[in-house]
């Protein structure tokens, strides 16, 4: 029977193991933060107009950049929730470990509150990417060593994409499911059940302006994608939005590969391991795809710092493996 139309809350309640009521609550809170971010983004083009002085809006509040606003929304939703004990964000230099005077839960949350935020000014898609870990330590606050973990230790991960509609996609290790926000009732409804991505696609997403900064293997791989000698008789199509979550969303549904390789002056690439690469890698692997640094599975990369960067090749299984063979000089 089709499950299309089931609400997020009901779906998680029915599918998660016994005793996971707090996990359902956690996902519900992520959904709530997503609604708040989506609300702010809908007004993005008006914020400068409302903030006539550039500093305050008509309510007399400070007009903050949207990525700070998005971060504030997530913090507000979670810090009193009793669901988490640690929060790490792209927008905060250090993790927030919940102090003794706030209720602590057993989850640790990492996020990029507004992925693709250069798209704010041009009405293009953006996202929120999240990674969830469980704190198994004793009572009290965790430490950096508890929070900064390999991707294989994530218990759940996903993203919210703010596009023509708002969609929340997540995995808790039991497949990947997408819920589209029905704005008139304020509920996320199941729209993409058990997503499986094609083993191979015909789309690549990259900032090719950096082509001359890439290693030879990366350049040769993209040159190869542009040749028309594929079984389809056509080269791959280039599609790049400037928002990782949106590009990965396209690949999840239609197949292909996203790449942000190492560059001559940025050997670690641009994207962050803990709250961009790891969560999307978990989603894509759960949907049958792969994520690699070019030489190692993303989920196996040793994590040492909160804002650690990593080269990222992510998408359909065969496309990522093909890219690795170029990077590793096998072709």
Residue 305 interface partner, choices ligand AHM, Mg ion, none, CB cut-off 5-8 Å depending on type: none
CB of 93 to Mg ion, least distance (A): 16
Do 163 and 119 meet the contact criterion of CB atoms below 8 Å apart? no
Do 129 and 159 meet the contact criterion of CB atoms below 8 Å apart? yes
Interaction between residue 87 and ligand AHM (CB under 6 A) = no
Interaction between residue 91 and ligand AHM (CB under 6 A) = no
Interaction between residue 117 and ligand AHM (CB under 6 A) = yes
| Residue (of 247, 254, 241, 253) closest to 312 by Cα position | 247
Do 298 and 151 meet the contact criterion of CB atoms below 8 Å apart? yes
Residue 117 interface partner, choices ligand AHM, Mg ion, none, CB cut-off 5-8 Å depending on type: ligand AHM
Q: Which of 75, 86, 109, 115 binds ligand AHM (CB under 6 A)?
A: 115
Interaction between residue 263 and ligand AHM (CB under 6 A) = no
The pair of three-digit structure tokens given for residue 270, joined into one six-digit string: 């641009």
Residue 192 interface partner, choices ligand AHM, Mg ion, none, CB cut-off 5-8 Å depending on type: none
- Strand intervals (E) in the chain: 84-89, 96-97, 107-115, 126-134, 156-162, 166-171, 176-182, 187-192, 203-205, 237-238, 257-260, 290-292, 312-315
Could you tell me how many residues of this chain bind ligand AHM (CB under 6 A)?
Answer: 10
86-125 binders of Mg ion (CB under 5 A): 112, 115
Interaction between residue 247 and Mg ion (CB under 5 A) = no
Nearer to ligand AHM (CB atom), residue 116 or residue 142:
116
CA–CA separation, 68 and 61 (whole Å):
14
**What is the DSSP track for 66-106?**
HHHHHHHHHHHHHHTSSSEEEEEETT-SS-EEPPTTS---S
Residue 242 interface partner, choices Mg ion, ligand AHM, none, CB cut-off 5-8 Å depending on type: ligand AHM
Interface positions with Mg ion (CB under 5 A) = 112, 115
Interface positions with ligand AHM (CB under 6 A) = 90, 112, 115-117, 207, 242-244, 270
């Amino acid at each position: 029977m089709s499950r299309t139309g089931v609400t997020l809350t009901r779906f998680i309640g029915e599918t998660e193991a016994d005793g996971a009521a707090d996990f359902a609550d956690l996902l519900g809170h992520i959904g709530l933060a997503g609604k708040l971010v989506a609300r702010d983004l809908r007004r993005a083009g008006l914020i400068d107009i409302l903030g006539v002085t550039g500093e305050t809006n008509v309510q007399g509040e400070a007009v903050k950049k949207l990525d700070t606003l998005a971060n504030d929304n997530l913090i507000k939703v979670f810090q009193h929730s009793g669901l988490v004990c640690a929060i790490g964000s792209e927008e905060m230099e250090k993790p927030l470990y919940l102090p003794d005077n706030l209720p602590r839960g057993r989850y640790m949350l990492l996020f990029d509150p507004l992925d693709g935020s250069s798209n704010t000014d041009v009405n293009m898609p953006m996202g929120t990417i999240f990674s969830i870990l469980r704190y198994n330590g004793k009572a009290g606050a965790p430490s950096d060593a508890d929070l900064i973990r390999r991707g294989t230790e994530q218990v759940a991960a996903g993203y919210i994409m703010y596009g023509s509609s708002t969609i929340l996609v997540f995995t808790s290790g039991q497949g990947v499911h997408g819920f589209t926000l029905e704005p008139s009732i304020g509920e996320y409804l199941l729209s993409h059940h058990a997503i499986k991505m094609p083993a191979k696609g015909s789309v690549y997403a990259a900032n090719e302006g950096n082509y001359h900064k890439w290693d030879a293997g990366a350049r040769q791989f993209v040159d190869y994608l542009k040749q028309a000698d594929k079984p389809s008789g056509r080269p791959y199509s280039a599609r790049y939005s400037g928002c990782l979550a949106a590009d990965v969303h396209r690949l999840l549904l239609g197949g292909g590969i996203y790449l942000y390789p190492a560059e001559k002056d940025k050997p670690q690439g641009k994207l962050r391991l803990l709250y961009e690469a790891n969560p999307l890698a978990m989603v894509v692997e759960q949907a049958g795809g792969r994520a690699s640094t070019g030489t190692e599975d993303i989920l196996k990369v040793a994590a040492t710092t909160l804002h650690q960067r990593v080269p990222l090749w992510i998408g359909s299984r065969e496309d990522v493996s093909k890219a690795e063979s170029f990077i590793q000089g096998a072709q």
